[in-house]
Amino acid sequence: MLDDGTAHLPAGLAGLSNIAEFPPVAPSVPERQVEERRKYRTIWISDVHLGTKGCNAELLIDFLDHTDSETMYLVGDIIDGWRLKKKFYWPPEHNDIVWRVLKRARRGTRVVYIPGNHDEMVRPFSGMNFGGIEIARAAFHDTADGRRLMVLHGDEFDTIMLAHRWLAFVGDALYHVMMKLNGWVASVRKVLDLPYWSISKAAKHKVKNAVEFISKYEEVVARAAGERGVDGVVCGHIHTAEARVFEHEGRPVEYWNDGDWVEGCNALVEHFDGRMEILHWAEEVARRESIATADEAAREAA
Ligand SMILES: [Mn+2]
């Protein structure tokens, strides 16, 4: 019999080898530090989408190997349960990310996992603790300089905006024009015996990524934070890292979006003095590599 690594398991459990190996004893991508770990007070990451090909596991593993923090917030859509349900996809690198996060928690980092809409199946576990990872629906974070920030994934506001239909992101007039056009298109298509197709529905899909939508989203989220009396909000969800300051009843309200690990590969960090910064990890790696190349060139020239 060939030993496929499951021979040590009792009969009947061989098929469970994947479960037995989770979390793996050692990651498939070994920990690697090209530079010293950067220490932060707080790190926020979100929209990792583990379980999809879109997840940039390589850069995230590099980020996790080069940073450390007292607290780490996983701000939702860490695991993409929606996609996994349709098609199971879980390369070893995705285990490596889970392994690294669990290791951080074991080393003493406070890890708070706030599930998003793609990992909503974790939401019922809010208030529980798994392997040192606190699950919460939302959190409040106090910065080193005494600002209070509300931390949540942010899909909650998507619903509010969709409930406002178009008015949330396009003008009232444009909405009415669109609805008229929609009726006209529908009747023409009916005459031509074509199935119903909604122009507004199709356009809405495209507009979802539009600048107006993002801007309005940021405003809606910041307003909610202002109404709650906090100094700011940290969220994810729309895959657009951003730092903005809004005003609510004469008070500034900070809006922070920690971006994603599909396109932007961003993290939001808090330094020990309370100063916040958005990191673009692809740029950090490029900078590190250009320094290494320059060093090498200098050594060769010497
Ligand atoms: Mn989301």
Domain with residue 71: its CATH number is 3.60.21.50
Sole residue written with tokens 């469970």: 16
- Classify residue 3: in a domain, yes or no: no
How many structural domains does the chain have?
1
CA of 236 to the centre of ligand 1 (A): 7
d(CA 84, CA 96): 17
- Classify residue 170: in a domain, yes or no: no
Q: Based on the number of CB atoms within 10 Å of its own CB, is 290 exposed (0-12), middle (13-18) or buried (19 or more)?
A: exposed
φ, ψ of residue 161 to 5 degrees: the values are -70, -35
For 57-95, how does the pLDDT look when each residue is reduced to its tens digit (9 = 90+)? Answer: 999 999 999 999 999 999 999 999 988 888 899 999 999
Largest CA-CA distance found in the chain, in angstroms, rounded: 80
Q: Given a cut of 90, is residue 179 above it in pLDDT?
A: no
For 208-220, how does the pLDDT look when each residue is reduced to its tens digit (9 = 90+)? Answer: 555 677 888 899 9
CA of 241 to the centre of ligand 1 (A): 13
d(CA 69, CA 144): 13
Domain range for residue 278? Answer: 38-163+229-301
Percent of all residues in the chain with a pLDDT value above 70, rounded to a whole number:
79
- Classify residue 213: in a domain, yes or no: no
Please compute the mean of the pLDDT values over residues 136-163 and round it to a whole number.
89
CA of 260 to the centre of ligand 1 (A): 10
Q: What is the mean pLDDT of the chain?
A: 85
φ, ψ of residue 25 to 5 degrees: the values are -65, -40
CA of 17 to the centre of ligand 1 (A): 32
- Classify residue 179: in a domain, yes or no: no
Q: Based on the number of CB atoms within 10 Å of its own CB, is 268 exposed (0-12), middle (13-18) or buried (19 or more)?
A: buried
How would residue 4 be classed by pLDDT, with cut points 50, 70 and 90?
A: very low
> Two tokens at 30?
């070994």
Look at residues 92, 70, 67, 94 and name the one whose alpha carbon lies nearest to residue 80. 94
CA of 264 to the centre of ligand 1 (A): 15
CA of 129 to the centre of ligand 1 (A): 22
- Classify residue 224: in a domain, yes or no: no
Q: Given a cut of 90, is residue 154 above it in pLDDT?
A: yes
- Classify residue 188: in a domain, yes or no: no
- Classify residue 169: in a domain, yes or no: no
d(CA 22, CA 29): 15
- Classify residue 121: in a domain, yes or no: yes
How would residue 273 be classed by pLDDT, with cut points 50, 70 and 90?
A: very high
